[in-house]
Structure 1
Amino acid sequence: MKLWKRNLIVCWFGMFVTSIGMSQLAPVLPLFIKDLGVHDPGLIAQFSGIAFGVTFIISAIFSPIWGLAADKFGRKPMLLRASLGMAIIIGCTGFAQNVYELIGLRLLLGVIAGYTTACTTLIATQTDKEHVGRALGTLSTASIAGSLLGPMIGGFIEENFGLQNVFFITGALLLIAFFATALFVKESFTREDKKVLSAKEIWRTLPNKNIIITLFTTFFVITLALYTIEPIITVYISHLSHDTTHVALLAGLAFSASGLANIIAAPILGKTSDKIGAHKVILVALIVAGIIFIPQAFVSNTWQLIGLRFLLGLVAAGLSPSVNILVKRLTPDSLTGRVFGFNMAAGYLGAFGGSILGGQIAGWFGIQYVFLVTSGLLLINAVWVYFKVYKKLNHSK
């Protein structure tokens, strides 16, 4: 097996598990907080929001720092650090005695995270040029599928094995990812003893700054769009479904539909990016994704929603990989880790902002408006990408 393929398999598994670790707490968090002694519904909601969101906010701050460390010391050491650290912290979360310990451990999880940034940088720099689109496309399915399936997996473990075992099982999987990384990931890395550039100096060094800023913004909007639906989908399905006994299962299917479609389509769209250009794939994917969000606001039953979520997953598979391909193409190898770190920070902010935005829009205007506003954001972003990325790269090509 070629080295880049072996690295890709191990990184895919590690990213999938770490994404689950970041997101699996969503459905069980209120139950766990109640189990820790908080019984007031208002306080449970507040603590749930803080505990869920703090991980993404702190990750956004530390992601560029770990990106710098990856450029300086190598990407494999960062993979080992993140997978072992997350395994320990998530495992310890099962022993939390009160809600403040829970929030503190979620904060530490945000500090230690960085597996995704290191994986993306490793695959982008160690894969043959003609296969990089396919590799990054495949890799992106791990993060997206893990994020989408994480809440369902967390709910399944809680229902069948108990609350604490959600953390213990996830921690054990991360430990497996640590050993797999240690044994099977190989990296050809030469450390360059150069002066560490500040963020301002990096921006001065980078060509095509406007395009890269547009790509960061696009990654933020993509992640925001995926997460706006997360806090309201269970409520939406309870309105659509007449069988209230299986709402959790149907919500899980809605999440799973997008994740499954993403896994199917991302390698194909990654290959397509290699052939016709990632700037073309991302423009079409943004437009089609924006359109698919609109009918989700007007479905009359759960299965229509699940079908549209599957179609969305097929299209969304062309978004994150295309951003990563273009960022890699426009960034010098010596700065790849730092720049991917900034890009991941934008993604973490999108995850946090999307979770907050979706709930607020649903509360003030109604659930249907969550889909319509998300559609509008994607279509506006598509127009911006057309002028700032597509036209410039198409012309230069």
Structure 2
Amino acid sequence: MSLAGFSFVMPFLPFYIRELGNLSESQVPVWSGVTYSLAPVMLCIFSPIWGTLADRHGRKMMVQRSMFGGGLVMLLMSQVHTLPAFLVLRLLQGALAGTVVASTTLVSSVSPRDRLGYSLGMMQMAVLLGSFAGPWIGGTMASAWGYRMPFMAAGIVVILAGVAVQFLVHENFTPPVEGAKQAHSMRAAFGGKGLLALLSVFFFVQFSASFVMPIFPLFVESLVGHGDAAGTVGKLMGITGLAAGISTVIVGRLSDQVGHKRTLVCTTMLTGLISIPHALVTGIGQLFGLRVGIGLATGGTNPSLNAIVGQSVSPEMYGRSYGIVQSASSLGMAAGPLVGGFVTAAFGLRVPFVIMGALLMLSSAMVAVFVRPRVASEQEQPQTLSPPSPVSAPSSTDDTPEVSPHKPAKDVTVEHPAAGG
């Protein structure tokens, strides 16, 4: 519900910005990029803070905070009449929201580690199905009643999602004990260089994926004209989300069997290859086909990224760890639309798709070469968790995470994804 609400406004946001700021056509891509970038900048700053609070006080509380805060901001956005006021609300939205990372932390904390990819895939399916329904509904509403009504509807839907979490989600949270043994952190899991590489991958994946975000509605408008651009963008975003939602469960289950790193390499490479032909599209039918391909290819990317982190750190570090990687992702989401907007203003609406594809393929290569996670040992996990099944240690050529070196080999259980997910 919350992601459907937040995505109500995505098909027409550049058009709304053009109306608020009375902008020329050459100014729209630049200001669209700025607008898209503001919320991720604040999300980058606040994600580690919210993550630390989640580890100390509970994850459900953070999910509710993101939904109630984000819903209130969406309601306020429906009432603004100037572009500066809208930009201030985008900053506030980034500071208060962060629904996906809060939900990821909650799901990771209650899921068996050998089914983490599947569990995160199910959550990502809900995210993507919301992203399917939201743009479709929002684009249709904008075509029928104008740009303000979808903001009001979005705010109400997101707040109702927060109410549903209050009454339907139950969390058995145990606060950390002061002076307890140091948890298995991201630095212990990946090493200094490996952690830098992982954060770089999170940055580049989101930078690449968001590169064309502010100009995609304008690109569609150039193909179909001004008449029903918002509705068409909504349908395109919807079909992309539906395809990704279908693939994410299948890929999430598969990644538990073949390895999350290997899955991530394949999904980012395939997404990059499908992105480039967007620059050659001449009709809306071709674009629909490519968007289905993008959805199917990208469905497993975020679950695999999050599962790599979830399997490599202790559960009591989930909030802080996901907060840190969300900061890297948010920087990518902030820089991508901003740079993409300026590139579009300089080179037109098609060149950014080529750059997006090249960056995604670069991200795939970075994962393959630099990301080498180690699994948190059994001794570092809370006693309430079921221990993973012991198997023989993999060879150095496998992409299964290595064992943390600070425990003796004979005392460590190596976690390997169970067959069947």
| Aligned pairs for 1:292-307 within 5 A | 292-307=274-289
8 A Cα contact 2:74 2:154, kept in partner: yes
| Aligned pairs for 1:288-327 within 5 A | 288-327=270-309
SS at match of 2:13: coil
Does 2:235 align with 1:263? no
Separation in structure 1 between the aligned mates of residue 215 and residue 88 of structure 2, nearest angstrom: 26
RMSD: 3.0
Aligned partner (choices 311, 319, 323) of residue 341 of structure 1:
323
Counterpart for residue 59 of structure 2: 75
Paired residues, number: 376
Separation in structure 1 between the aligned mates of residue 176 and residue 346 of structure 2, nearest angstrom: 53
SS at match of 1:194: coil
The answer to which of 333-342 and 294-303 deviates more is: 294-303
The answer to which of 157-166 and 297-306 deviates more is: 157-166
SS at match of 1:345: helix
Counterpart for residue 357 of structure 1: 339
SS at match of 1:182: helix
SS at match of 1:367: coil
The answer to which of 172-181 and 40-49 deviates more is: 40-49
Counterpart for residue 20 of structure 1: 7
Counterpart for residue 171 of structure 1: 155
Counterpart for residue 275 of structure 1: 257
1:270, CA displacement in angstroms?
A: 0.4
SS at match of 2:280: coil
| Aligned pairs for 1:143-162 within 5 A | 143-144=127-128, 146=130, 150=134, 153-162=137-146
SS at match of 2:350: helix
SS at match of 1:26: helix
5+ residue gaps, structure 1, are 1-12
The answer to which of 141-150 and 183-192 deviates more is: 141-150
Q: Could you say if the C-alpha distance between residues 357 and 149 of structure 1 is closer, same or farther in structure 2, counting changes exceeding 3 Å?
A: farther
Q: Could you say if the C-alpha distance between residues 209 and 315 of structure 1 is closer, same or farther in structure 2, counting changes exceeding 3 Å?
A: farther
Does 2:12 align with 1:30? no
1:196-246: CA deviation from partner (whole Å, max 9, x where unpaired) = 9xxxx96655444444433332232222232222233334334445x7644
Separation in structure 1 between the aligned mates of residue 51 and residue 142 of structure 2, nearest angstrom: 34
Q: Could you say if the C-alpha distance between residues 220 and 258 of structure 1 is closer, same or farther in structure 2, counting changes exceeding 3 Å?
A: farther
Does 2:188 align with 1:224? no
Does 2:116 align with 1:132? yes
1:231-285: CA deviation from partner (whole Å, max 9, x where unpaired) = 33334334445x7644443333332222111011000100001111111111111
Separation in structure 2 between the aligned mates of residue 43 and residue 365 of structure 1, nearest angstrom: 14
1:146, CA displacement in angstroms?
A: 4.7
Separation in structure 2 between the aligned mates of residue 300 and residue 23 of structure 1, nearest angstrom: 23
Separation in structure 2 between the aligned mates of residue 111 and residue 208 of structure 1, nearest angstrom: 30
8 A Cα contact 1:120 1:136, kept in partner: yes
8 A Cα contact 1:258 1:312, kept in partner: yes
1:144-183: CA deviation from partner (whole Å, max 9, x where unpaired) = 5555765554433233234332222111111211111001
1:49, CA displacement in angstroms?
A: 4.7
| Aligned pairs for 1:362-377 within 5 A | 362-377=344-359
Q: Could you say if the C-alpha distance between residues 220 and 155 of structure 1 is closer, same or farther in structure 2, counting changes exceeding 3 Å?
A: same
Q: Output the amino acid matched with 1:82.
A: S
Separation in structure 1 between the aligned mates of residue 235 and residue 179 of structure 2, nearest angstrom: 50
Separation in structure 1 between the aligned mates of residue 313 and residue 84 of structure 2, nearest angstrom: 41
Separation in structure 1 between the aligned mates of residue 218 and residue 345 of structure 2, nearest angstrom: 11
Separation in structure 2 between the aligned mates of residue 395 and residue 336 of structure 1, nearest angstrom: 17
Does 2:310 align with 1:328? yes
Separation in structure 2 between the aligned mates of residue 193 and residue 311 of structure 1, nearest angstrom: 48
Counterpart for residue 393 of structure 1: 399
Q: Output the amino acid matched with 1:217.
A: S
Q: Percent identity?
A: 27
SS at match of 1:393: coil
Counterpart for residue 393 of structure 2: none
Counterpart for residue 268 of structure 2: 286
8 A Cα contact 2:276 2:354, kept in partner: yes
SS at match of 2:178: coil
Q: Could you say if the C-alpha distance between residues 324 and 314 of structure 1 is closer, same or farther in structure 2, counting changes exceeding 3 Å?
A: same
Q: Which has the higher helix share?
A: 1
1:7-26: CA deviation from partner (whole Å, max 9, x where unpaired) = xxxxxx33x24642784672
SS at match of 2:282: coil
Aligned partner (choices 226, 233, 236) of residue 216 of structure 2:
233
Counterpart for residue 68 of structure 2: 84
Counterpart for residue 3 of structure 1: none
TM-score scaled to structure 1, two decimals? 0.84
Counterpart for residue 141 of structure 1: 125
Does 2:29 align with 1:65? no
Say which one has the larger Rg. Answer: 2
Q: Output the amino acid matched with 2:17.
A: P
Q: Could you say if the C-alpha distance between residues 154 and 352 of structure 1 is closer, same or farther in structure 2, counting changes exceeding 3 Å?
A: farther
SS at match of 2:371: helix
Counterpart for residue 94 of structure 2: 110
Does 2:40 align with 1:53? no
8 A Cα contact 1:75 1:121, kept in partner: yes
Does 2:78 align with 1:94? yes
Q: Could you say if the C-alpha distance between residues 297 and 23 of structure 1 is closer, same or farther in structure 2, counting changes exceeding 3 Å?
A: closer
Separation in structure 1 between the aligned mates of residue 32 and residue 277 of structure 2, nearest angstrom: 30
Q: Output the amino acid matched with 1:293.
A: S
8 A Cα contact 2:78 2:148, kept in partner: yes
SS at match of 1:104: helix
1:44, CA displacement in angstroms?
A: 7.2
The answer to which of 330-339 and 226-235 deviates more is: 226-235
Q: Output the amino acid matched with 1:137.
A: G
1:39, CA displacement in angstroms?
A: 3.5
Counterpart for residue 120 of structure 1: 104
Separation in structure 2 between the aligned mates of residue 80 and residue 302 of structure 1, nearest angstrom: 39
The answer to which of 42-51 and 245-254 deviates more is: 42-51
